[in-house]
Amino acid sequence: MQHGGSICTRGNRVRPDDAGRAERARSPLLALCAVVALLFALLLVYSRTIAFAWDEGFHLLAAQLILAGKRPYLDFCYPQAPLYAYWNALWMRLFGDTWRVAHTVSALATAGAILLAAEFLLARLPVAGWRLACAVAAALLAGLNATVVGYGAIGQAYGLCLFLLVAAFRVSVRAVERSSPLPAAAAGFLAAAAAGSSLLTAAAAPVFLLWIPLHNRAGNRWRKCAACLAGAALPLLPLLWLFVESPHATLFNLFEYQLRYRRVNWEDATPHDLGVLTSWLDSSSALLLALLAIAGLRFIARMSGWERARRAEFYLCAWLALALGAELCATHPTFERYFILLTPFLAILAAVGFYAAASRLYHPSRPLLPLAALALLLALALAKSVYQESNALSWRDLEAVARKIEQVTPPHAALWGDEHFHFLTRRPAPEGVEFSYAQIVDMPAAQAAPLHIVNQWELVRQAETGVFSTVATCEADPEIEEMGLPRLYLHKTRIKSCTVFWDRAPARP
């Protein structure tokens, strides 16, 4: 019923101009969600076809072992923070222990991180006319980034960590303007959960812990600091439980392996790191992201018209990128894919840089054409990267190897394979095979046994005595020859870059 120029609903009056404003507020968000939905579709298709990284194998096998009742550190070697393995085990219990489940969950988490980062600009950018354009630009800069597409939807912790870090950022921004300490506790929880999933994100938690009390605008800052610490303690409880059960094994897997054994047999680790730290110069999308982020940060610093509190939120992005970047540079050896963790925060700053450049070089109130040009450039760069990776090893290739293993291996016979093949075939992994990188650790057997580490040459000795009916590996030919596998088995087959050996040769007199 209409009355007096207003709309009446059960006695409550809603003015038409209020309804119009609400509708106008929803429209940009729906448009942004549509863009992110398209990016998620891209991630999902890629995740179920091409997406693959070698280190997925031991992460997914760890989750499968947890499903079987085993515990990381205590029952098998797993030199990683444990939460991601438990996260994967949860989803595998619900939907099946396949790589497709892990990829789908990672793609969803990455898309969620992109949406949270982009929506921040839609809600907080002081330039009203460019909010949607900058939000879409941030989504494109993150979602069409080759590293994000390549590693954000695989069976490793990158997708989950991206979501947790951006969620912690969004909650921290709210925490300083609310009197309640609960948002600060949530920020601590999310940041610690990211660190509990991958130690590569450990530098973010101290940034949030310092930023919240320094920029607090409501309530007691020390209560919020305490709440942040209390929230951070919760995700670390599983780690504390593992430590109580076996302090030595927990400390070895979390710290000692990383500090003492990670670079074993890697003579060119330093030149490798230098190559990684300069590789952004060879990537058009990474170079564009970095240059626009620098331009955005400079623009924010010079904008005296922006509120101090609003600038501080964008500076938080810079501090997070700086802290995480410093940690990743110090990781030795480091890899290009690690820097995926900086992408959403750089994308927020880069979107401001996009506004600064487009509004001056093209038109201050027409963002559509510059946005289309940015989308085209990023899409072409991504298409080139995907094309270059299209012939690389994939899970479908490994599934073909797994089918061959099942064909030539008796039901209850022992298999010695790379982690991927135990995961795919669900055949028990012998002691020491759960984390193959540890097989080159030079450690006395008495010290290695409690850590579930078995030297590679001990596994070769077991193969020589007939313990393994089948051996499946993707090692290069020189390493295979060095282990002497061709003389131990009568038959072998090659699938892509992997080799399956079976049918033990008679022992030589």
Query: Quick check: is 78 in a domain?
Result: yes
Q: For each successive 10 residues of the chain (509 residues), what is the average pLDDT?
A: 39 51 72 96 95 96 97 96 97 97 97 97 92 96 95 97 98 94 96 96 96 92 94 94 96 92 72 83 87 95 85 96 95 91 97 93 85 94 88 93 96 95 96 93 90 94 94 94 93 94 80
Q: Are residues 299 and 318 in the same domain?
A: yes
Instruction: Establish how many alpha carbons lie within 13 A of residue 112's alpha carbon, considering only the half-sphere containing its beta carbon.
Output: 18
Distance of alpha carbon 499 from alpha carbon 67, whole angstroms: 28
| Count of other CB atoms within 10 angstroms of residue 366 | 13
For residue 355, is it within any domain?
A: yes
Domain assignment present for residue 4? The answer is no
* Beta bridge pairs of residue 7: 2, 14
For residues 1 and 12, give the distance between their C-alpha atoms in angstroms, rounded to a whole number.
11
The answer to whether residues 489 and 364 belong to one domain is no
Is 1 within the bounds of a domain? no
Task: Tell whether 309 and 431 lie within a shared domain.
Answer: no
Whether residue 135 contacts residue 121, with contact meaning beta carbons closer than 8 Å, is answered with yes
412 and 274 both lie in a single domain: no
- Per the structure, the count of domains in the chain is 2
283 in a structural domain: yes
Q: Which amino acid is at 133?
A: A
Strand partners, 502: 470, 491
Query: pTM score, two decimals?
Result: 0.92
Q: Which of 355, 370, 389 is the last residue of a domain?
A: 389
Two tokens, residue 88: 């994967």
Measure the CA–CA gap between 358 and 375, rounded to whole angstroms.
14
The residue out of 345, 365, 389 marking a domain boundary is 389
Residues 360 and 325 both lie in one domain: yes
Q: Could you say which of 370, 389, 408 is where a domain stops?
A: 389
Q: How many angstroms separate the Cα of 71 from the Cα of each of 102, 192, 319, 427, 447? A: 19, 21, 36, 18, 19
State whether 359 and 423 are in the same domain: no
Integer Cα distance of 239 and 506 in angstroms? 47
∠ CA 101-102-105 to the nearest 5 degrees? Answer: 85
DSSP 8-state secondary structure symbol assigned to residue 393 = -
Kindly state the helix (H) or strand (E) to which residue 470 belongs, with its residue range. strand 470-473
Other C-beta atoms closer than 10 Å to the C-beta of 77 total 27
The C-alpha atoms of residue 134 and residue 368 are separated, in whole angstroms, by 10
In terms of domains, do 367 and 401 share one? no
Residues 348 and 495 in one domain: no
409-415: long-range pairs with CB below 8 Å, 24+: 409/469, 409/470, 409/502, 410/469, 413/469, 413/470, 414/467, 414/468, 414/469, 414/470, 415/468, 415/469, 415/470, 415/471, 415/472
165 and 283 co-located in one domain? yes
Q: Are 204 and 322 in contact (CB under 8 A)?
A: no
CA distances 56 to 52, 60, 249, 283, Å, are 7, 6, 22, 24
- How far is the C-alpha of 428 from the C-alpha of 434, rounded, in Å? 10
Nearest residue to 215 via CA among 228, 202, 200, 231: 228
> For the range 333-338, what are the long-range contacts, defined as Cβ-Cβ under 8 Å and sequence gap of 24 or more?
333/262, 333/263, 333/266, 333/269, 333/272, 333/273, 333/276, 334/273, 334/276, 334/277, 335/276, 336/147, 336/276, 336/279, 337/53, 337/147, 337/150, 337/151, 337/158, 338/200
CB 64 within 8 A of CB 423: yes
Query: CA 141, CA 102: separation in Å to the nearest integer?
Result: 24
- Tell me: do 363 and 429 sit in the same domain: no
Number of Cβ atoms within 10 Å of the Cβ of 446 = 7
CB-CB contact of 173 with 345 (8 Å): no
DSSP codes, 68-127: TT--BTTTB---S-SHHHHHHHHHHHHH-S-HHHHHHHHHHHHHHHHHHHHHHHHHH-S-
Residues 494 and 356 in one domain: no
User: Is 291 inside any structural domain?
Assistant: yes
Determine the structural domain holding residue 451 and report its residue range: 395-504
Phi, psi for residue 414 in degrees, rounded to 5:
-85, 140
3 in a structural domain: no
Tokens of 417: 């394979």
**Burial level of 453, CB count in 10 A (0-12/13-18/19+)?**
buried
Q: Are residues 426 and 357 in the same domain?
A: no
The answer to whether residue 5 is domain-embedded is: no
Q: What is the pLDDT of residue 389?
A: 81
Q: Between 83-95 and 56-67, two packed helices, what is the crossing angle to 10 degrees?
A: 70
Exposure class string for 468-486: b at 16+ Cβ within 10 A, else e: bbbbbbbbeeeebeebebe
